[in-house]
Each structure stands twice: as structure tokens, then as C-alpha cells.
Chains A and B, each alone.
Chain A
Amino acid sequence: MDKRSYLVPGLLAFLLHVAVLLLLAGHWFDHADPRELQPRHIQAQMVDLGAVSQALEKQTEQARRAEEARKKDEQRKLNEREQAQEKQRQQELAAQEKAKKAAQAQEQKVRDEQAAKEKSVKEAEQKAETQRQQKEQADVLAKAKAAETKAAAEAKQKAQEQAKLATEKKKQVEDLAKAAADKKKQADDQARRAAEKKQADEQAKLAAEKKKQADLAAKAKAETEAKRVAEAKRKQEEQQRKEADKARELAQLEKELAQEQQKMAADRASQQLTVSMGDYIRSELERYWRISSASRNGMEAVVEIRLFPSGEVDSANLVLSSGDSGFDTTAVQAVYKVDRFSRLTELDPLTFERNFRKFRVKFRPEGLRW
């Protein structure tokens, strides 16, 4: 065995614990037999719990009766006020139109129902208050009984404590009564505020109804006026639309006319240019047309000329003979002699294509000797 083992310390520790347990064991088991302590002085005051109980009952009954009387008085006042309000409301309602009677009746009904409901609520509250008081009384009695029992059990040793306890209980009862009074007062205030609130609500409701009626009338009037305005506006818009259509038609016509006039102006310009170029072509042909000796006044040959855009002669073909082949030949020769009408390049392609790509020249001599 190791000399350095824990056996001894452990054993010593165990013994120490056992010793402590043994010392404490007596306290544990002596508790079952309590030692009666006798007060050094007992100054007891006799309390008749029955009288107390009766006093409490009496106080409670008085408080209840006072509460009932107060409630009745308040109820009477409330009824009087309600009657006055009802009377006033009846007078106000009588001044309203018959059309509102149904709504008023309905409202009255709702109000009656509400009043009945409030009444039932009040009754329920009264009943609940009675039950609560009864319960409190029962609780007080139960507590009194418990205290009586306890006092009877400890009367001898604890008379002073009982007296103190009774005092405390009395105080507690007073506090309870005071709390009940406060609560009742609070309930009264709440009921009053509820009635005031209800009255304010009713007034607000009446005002809202009145406002609603006024709004309906105003709305109806506004609708009628709006309809009239809308009709007038519709007619005005229709008239404006017709005028706009007419104006648009007129504008369209004027626009078309303007376009046509522009086109005509362009055509006139083109025509003037065409005339100018026609004079140029004529002068060129007159430079090169060699009128033969056999030509006679009144002869006429028509040559169709086709040109390239450069003004160069593409072809010249006789389309109407004078009956004199020599005369016809001179006419065709004149065209080929010109070879190129160079100024035609000044024309825009469209005018050239329209007028000078292909055109005809009438050769008709004038002023000949014969």
C-alpha cells in the first residue's frame, strides 16, 4: 500500500461530515414539536367578530343602498336629460322633411335598441357589482372566519397579533370600501362620459345626416346643372366639330388648289422655258435650212426629231411630206446639219423628257418669191 494514498484523508473527511450531520439532525427533528412561546405581556382587546361582521354587513348594505339611491338619482337625471334631448330632437326632427321620417324612425329604433342595450349593460354592471360585493363580503366573511378560527386557535398566544390583525382588517375593509367608492365614482364618471360621448356622437351623426342630405341635394342640383352644362357643351362641341370639319374641308380644298396652282405655275415656267428653247431650236434650224429653188410658199413638211439628252440629234424622220421630195430632204437635212442643240443641256431632265426628247418641227416656208 502506498503511503501516499488518499484513504486517510478521505476517511477523515467522511467522519467530519457525519459529525456535522449529527449535530444538525436534532434541529431537523425538533421542528415537529414546536415550542410554545408565551408572550411576556398580553394586552388583548376583545373583538366581537359577529358585531364586526354585522357592522360590515350594515356598512355594506348602507353603501349598497346609497349606491342604489345614487344610481337611481343618476338614472332619473339621465332619463330627464334624455327626455329633454329626445324632446328637442323630436322638435328638430319635426322640422325636417317627411322624407327623412323613415330614416329617423330607423334611427330612433336604433337609438332605442341602443338605449335598451345600455340599460341591459347597466343592469349587468349592477348585477356584476352586486355579485362582486357579495363575493367580497363572502371573502371578508371567509377571511373573518379564517381569522376567527386562527384567532381561536391562537387566541391565547397571539391576542395582540389578532388585535393588530383585526385593526389591519378593519383598515383593509375601509380601504376596500374606499376602493369600492372610488370604483363606483369611476364607473359613474365613465357612464357620464359615455353619455356625453353618445350625445356628441348623436349630434355629430345628425349633423352628418344633415350634411349628407344637403350634400345629396347639392349633388342632385350639381348633377342637373352638370347635365345641362354637358348638353350645352356637347352641342357647342358638335357645332365646333362641324365648323372644324368645314374649315378642314375648306383648308383641304385651298391646299389642293394651292398645290394645283403651284403645279400650274411650274408648268407655266416649264412652258416658258419650253417656248424659249423652242425659239432656240427654231433659230438653229433656220440657220441650216437651205430652202431649195423648187420650194414654194405653202409647202409644208413635218419632221419628227429625237434627241439625246446632250442635245445631239438621234434621228430625224419625215412624218408628213410636202409632196416634194427635195423640199422634204432639205428639212431633214437641216436637222442633221444642226447636229447638236447644245443649249438643251440647260434643261432639267424632266422638262427635256417631256418636251424635247421627241418633238416635231414643221417646215413651212414663208416669203418666198413664189
Chain B
Amino acid sequence: MVIAMKQRLLACCVLMLLAFGVRAELVIEVTQGVDAPTPIAVVPFGWSGGTPLPEDIAEIVSTDLYRSGFFSAMKRSDMLSFPQQQAQVFFRDWRVSGQNYLLIGRVTSAGGEQLQVTYELYDVLKETRVFGEQISGSTRNMRDMAHYIADAVFEKLTGLRGAFSTRIAYVTAQNQGGGRHRYSLQLADADGARARTILESREPIMSPSWSKDGSKLAYVSFESSRPGIYVQHLATGKREKIQSFAGLNGAPAWAPDGQRLALTLSKDGNPEIYTLDLARRQLTRVTHHYGIDTEPTWSPDGQSILFTSDRGGQPQIYRVYLSDRRIERVTFEGNYNSSGKLTQDGRFLAMVHRSAGAGAAFNIAVQDLKTGRLDILTQTSLDESPTIAPNGSIVLYATQQGNTGVLAAVSLDGRVRFRMPSSSGDVREPAWSPYLQ
């Protein structure tokens, strides 16, 4: 009897344990998804004024979102309606058309050139209003208003700060015949629009670099007898020549603290990496190697500098730690890696890459410094000078289209590629600004 009771008790305990296991809450794990952007419909904003507006805000927002690589914008021709207010929204239509989000808005005149833009973002699947805002501006800065809206929507839906209101700087070269060229330092919106020249020279202009506050540009100009490093204040246009040693003076890069520049100088006979304290004008040599060390770029924490060097026999990217001058090689894949640029989080390194093997092209590649994985993002040849949007979503680079250099962009995951609006001349050396104040 006692044995039977013990067996019974044991059986009950076992069954209870099993029952607990059975009754555990169901958790389903999803590890795969669709490698596709999120669909969004940006409906043309309503306008109650008589004369047409100079800019199509909805179109600018839609393009911005599409070029980010995160979104796929619905074509206007596919839209069943153009609601401007919530009462006019029929979520079912947008849901059937496969959209996740819907952005509507309307523009009203606030007197004179002043405008008021009201926009609202809706979650089609939840059939809820995500957020909305009313902003003011003038007809002259409608693009800024559009980029602002795109930034807001982007940040709301992706969690990343939008970089559509940033600027890009690049150099154009116009062949004036007779072997003469006219070089211009251009400043444009992130989408390439509203480009304007901030410097022109008959001598080459190279390696523009934004200060961390976005107020200054450093670049190399050959306008004097030898290359010099200049810093130009964008607001005032004031220029300042920082260094001009004999030999090579190039590739300035702003330190994150905005107080230093990393430079490539060959004043000691061999191109080496230096840092320059702008306040004290104190120059510090960082590298000491007979190979060529050039194209420095700062790590986000300012503790190290990545640079290109052929000390290994082939151009590769190395890292030098400023505290102890310790140097380590960063890239190993391919026989050519140069012009490295780090994302703001310091994890990804965009670079010009050439794979090993005959006939390989120069492409833009991204290497995950955490895992060492390298991905080639572009399929064109002769790609150069990569620069990364401050939110790390897009890599802008220069490439060749025929015999003309153009700007192109690719999302960091390689999903979206597009070309910037063509500018006159040969376009090269783009530099993406940081977030602007």
C-alpha cells in the first residue's frame, strides 16, 4: 500500500512537472524577414492658393524617403485618391494597395510668401494617426520644409535621425579647353539640389572635409605655388590657410572635437600622418614609416585615426591609436583598400575596394569592424571618395559615367542605389556634412 502511494505521488509529481511544461506560454521566434523597404504613400499635399507652388513638397519627401533605402514610395499614378484630411482617408484602400503608412498634408498661405504646411502620418495597418505637425516657412525654403518633414517621418518610423536636411560638398571640374580646367567647390542639399559654388579656382581643389559642427570646410587647394590646406567658414565665406609645407599637403580630416585636424604631410620626405592643433598650430607626427601613409579619418571617439598605407606592399587601411601610436591593420580582403570613412557609431568602414584578381574594378565596399565582414556595395567601376551620411544610412561616392565623373549613392545595405542630379562638369570628392544646427 505504501509503495503504491509512493508510486502514485511520484507519478503525480512527474505529471505536474510535465503539465507545467505543457502550460508554458507560447513564444514564437521569427528570425527571417523580407529584405524589402517599407511601403509608404506620400499623397500630394493640398494647396488652396491660386498660383502653383514652386516646389512639390510631397514629391521631395517621397524621394528622400525612397533614397534612404528604408522606404518604397507609392507612385501617384497608383493612388486611388488624394486625401488631405483624416476624414478623407479610407484605410482599406491603402491597405489593399499594400501600403503600411500614409502621409497626407496641405499647404495654406499665411500671407505674402509665408506658408503653413500641415502634415499627418497614418498607420494604415493599425488605422491610427502616428503623428502630425504644422510648420511654417516661405516659398523660398519649401525644400527645407520638405526635408524637415522627411526627416521627421524617417525618424518616427525608423528610429534613426533623418539626414535629408544635411548638405553635401563636392568638387566639380569643368574642362575649359587647352588643358585648362575650372574647379569649383560646390555645396548642395543632400539630394543634390540647390547646388551652389563656394569656391572656384583654376587650380585643383581636393579633399573637402566638414567640421563637426558643419560650419566650416577644410580642403586642399593648389591655388598657390604649392598645395595648401585651407579652412573656410561657410556662413561668412572667410577662408584660412592652415598649413602649406613643402611637398605633399593633403587629406585634411576634422577631429570629432573640432580642435584638431589630421593631415598628410610629406614635409619630412615621406607622406606621413600628422595631427594639427588648430588653436596652437602645433603639428604632431603620428606615423613613422617609409611607406606612404595618407587619407586619415578619425574614429568617432577621437582616440584613433584610420589611414591608408602601402606599408604592406599594397594599399590597405590601418588604424593608429594616438595614445601609444600602436598600429593595426584593419582591412585584409582585396588587394586595394583606401579612402576609409567610418560611420558615426564607428562600426562600419566604407572604402574604395578592389578585389583580388585580374581585371577587378574599384568599388565601394563596407566592412563591419565588429565581425570583419566586407560587402561590396556598388557594381560600377572607378568608384572613389566614399562619404557616409551622418545617420549611416547612405554612402555617397564619386564614380565615372562615360568619361564624366558623377555622384552616386548607395544605401549602406546596398539595397538602394541612385545617382545624384547631374551637375555640369566632372564631379568628384564628395563630402557629406554632419547634422546641421
The stretch among B15-23, B285-293, B314-322 that forms the contact with chain A is: B15-23
Task: List which A209-251 residues lie within 8 A (CB) of chain B.
Answer: 246, 249-250
Within 163-203 of B, Cβ neighbours of A (below 8 Å) are at none
Q: Cβ of B34 and Cβ of A293 under 8 Å apart?
A: no
- Tell me if A292 and B158 are in contact (CB < 8 A): yes
Q: Which of B4, B15, B26, B32 contacts A286 (CB 8 A)?
A: B32
The one of A246, A270, A287, A326 that contacts B1, using a Cβ cutoff of 8 Å: A246
Whether B8 and A253, one on each chain, are in contact in the complex, defined by CB atoms closer than 8 angstroms, is yes
Which of A31-39, A176-184, A186-194, A333-341 lies at the binding interface?
A333-341
Residues of A close to B28: CB separation below 8 A: 278, 281-282, 285, 359-362
Question: Closest CB-CB distance, B178 to chain A, in whole Å?
Answer: 47
Verify if A342 is at the interface (C-beta below 8 Å from B).
no
Interface residues of B in 1-54 (CB under 8 A from A): 1, 4, 7-8, 11-12, 15, 18-19, 22-23, 25-38
Cα distance A362–B33 in the bound complex, in angstroms:
13
Which of A291, A339, A356 has most B Cβ within 10 Å? A291
Min CB–CB distance B407 → chain A (angstroms): 20
B375 within 8 A of partner (CB) = yes
The reply to whether the CB of A199 lies closer than 8 angstroms to some CB of chain B is no
Tally A residues with Cβ within 8 Å of B.
53
- Please encode chain B, from 356 to 371, with 1 for each CB lying within 8 Å of some chain A CB and 0 for all others: 0000000000001011
Q: Provide the main secondary structure of the chain A interface.
A: helix
Contact call B160/A294, Cβ cutoff below 8 A: yes
The listed residue (B11, B69, B375) touching A293 by CB distance below 8 A is B69
Residue in contact with B159 in the complex, picked from A256, A282, A326, A363, CB distance below 8 Å: A326
CB nearest to B36 among chain A residues: A290
* Docked pose: A143 CA to B31 CA in angstroms: 155
Question: How far does the alpha carbon of A274 sit from the alpha carbon of B21 in the complex, in Å?
Answer: 13
Asked if B126 and A336 sit within 8 Å, CB to CB, the answer is yes
Which residue of B15, B34, B35, B69 is within 8 Å of A264 (Cβ)? B15
Q: How many B residues face the partner with a CB closer than 8 A?
A: 49
Complex alpha-carbon distance, A84 and B207, angstroms: 169
B373 in the interface, Cβ–Cβ < 8 Å? yes
Instruction: From known contacts A329-B159, A370-B373, infer whether A361 and B413 are also in contact, taking CB-CB under 8 Å.
Output: no
Classify the secondary structure of B's interface with A: loop
Chain A hits for B31, CB < 8 A? 364-367
B309 in contact (CB, < 8 A): no
> What is the CB-to-nearest-CB distance from A102 to chain B, in angstroms, rounded to a whole number?
58
Nearest-Cβ distance from residue B43 to partner chain A, whole angstroms? 20
> How distant is the Cα of A128 from the Cα of B415 in the complex, in angstroms?
157
Is A325 in contact with B159, judged by CB distance below 8 angstroms?
A: yes
User: How many Å from the CB of A323 to the closest CB on chain B?
Assistant: 9
Residues of B whose CB lies within 8 Å of any CB of A are 1, 4, 7-8, 11-12, 15, 18-19, 22-23, 25-38, 69-70, 100, 123, 125-126, 157-160, 347-348, 368, 370-371, 373, 375, 392-393, 411-415
19 contacts between A and B (CB under 8 A): A253-B7, A260-B12, A260-B15, A282-B28, A288-B34, A289-B30, A289-B33, A293-B411, A326-B70, A329-B159, A339-B125, A354-B23, A359-B25, A361-B28, A362-B28, A363-B30, A366-B32, A367-B31, A369-B375
